[in-house]
Amino acid sequence: MATVYDKFGMKSDGELTGEKRAGSLEGEDTAQEADDRATPLPPGVDQPRIQRAVREILLAVGENPDREGLRETPARVARMYAELFCGLHVDPRRHLRKFFTETCDEVVLVRDISFNSMCEHHMLPFMGTAHVAYLPGDRVIGLSKLARVVEEVARRPQVQERMTEQIADLLVDELRAKGVAVVIEAIHTCMTIRGVRKPGAVCVTSAMRGCFRSKPSTRAELMTLIYGDHR
């Protein structure tokens, strides 16, 4: 049986891959949908249960889930949720455990890490960028690992404030850094398409640990690194 790795580096059972699933619906789908089915999804999400729930929602809002355009919708939504919430079934710490022992006394910053997450209050997406910085102790990690941590923490039902703190605390725990800073800027669709309807409003959160919290000069240096040349 084939072992497949998806874009999150997760192993999937070869039996769930698209060749088999796409076959039965050939001719009814767009290429994009066939493609979607070909992307193996992480285990741990009960897709049939989501399908039943989505069908219920369609009925509850007064739709006919059996009309042509909606027939495949529950299955599509189930695949989408499996993708959007795949972070619930992985431990982002694993990325931080492959560190190099090195002394470095300068701030390391990865700026503008884009992410998409899901507001847990409304089940609507919020999206934006994360800036993640640390001042190493004796552990240094590959820069892409910071982006992977953001990605996995984002792919679960979230609130931006908690997401910011979770990323900071993961880095503090695993890297024994002298300081960690996480700044996240995001647009929440629950504020733009419903409720107060304020498109363009950007929500900014930050979590400062160690020297970024205690030393104003280190925090100021970081803010210059993040915003200095493009604001």
CA distance 28 to 224: 53
Q: In 3D, which of 223, 159, 212 has the Cα closest to residue 186?
A: 159
Catalytic annotation present for 190: yes
Q: Which is nearer to Zn ion, 52 or 121 (CB)?
A: 121
Output the smallest distance, CB 189 to Zn ion, in A. Answer: 8
Whether residue 230 lies in the annotated active site: no
The residue whose two tokens read 């009925």 is: 59
122 is catalytic: yes
Tell me which of 47, 83, 104, 122 is the catalytic residue: 122
DSSP state of 66: T
The reply to whether 89 belongs to the active site is: no
Cβ-contact 187, 126 below 8 angstroms: yes
Residue 161 a catalytic site member: no
Instruction: Provide the 10 A C-beta neighbour count for residue 46.
Output: 12
The residue (of 54 and 119) whose beta carbon lies closer to Zn ion is 119
Residue 180, both tokens: 């960690």
Identify which of residues 74 and 87 has a Cβ nearer to Zn ion in the complex: 87
Question: Tell me, what amino acid is at 188?
Answer: H
- Catalytic residue chosen out of the listed positions 51, 86, 119, 131: 119
Nearer to Zn ion (CB atom), residue 53 or residue 190: 190
Catalytic annotation, pick one of 95, 131, 152, 160: 160
Closest-by-Cβ residue to Zn ion is: 190
What are the structure tokens assigned to 196, written together?
A: 């107060």
Cβ of residue 41: shortest distance to Zn ion, in angstroms? Answer: 25
Could you tell me the smallest distance in angstroms from the CB atom of residue 125 to Zn ion?
10
- Catalytic residue (one of 28, 72, 121, 161): 121
How many H helices and E strands in the chain? 10, 9
Say whether 166 is catalytic: no
CB of 195 to Zn ion, least distance (A): 8
Residue 68, SS3? helix
Q: Which is nearer to Zn ion, 65 or 125 (CB)?
A: 125
Task: Give the C-alpha separation, 159 to 115, whole Å.
Answer: 13
95 in catalytic set: no
Catalytic residue among 95, 188, 211, 221: 188
Enumerate binding residues for Zn ion (CB under 5 A).
119, 121-122, 190
CA–CA gap between residue 47 and residue 142 (Å, rounded): 34
Residues taking part in catalysis? 119-122, 160, 188, 190
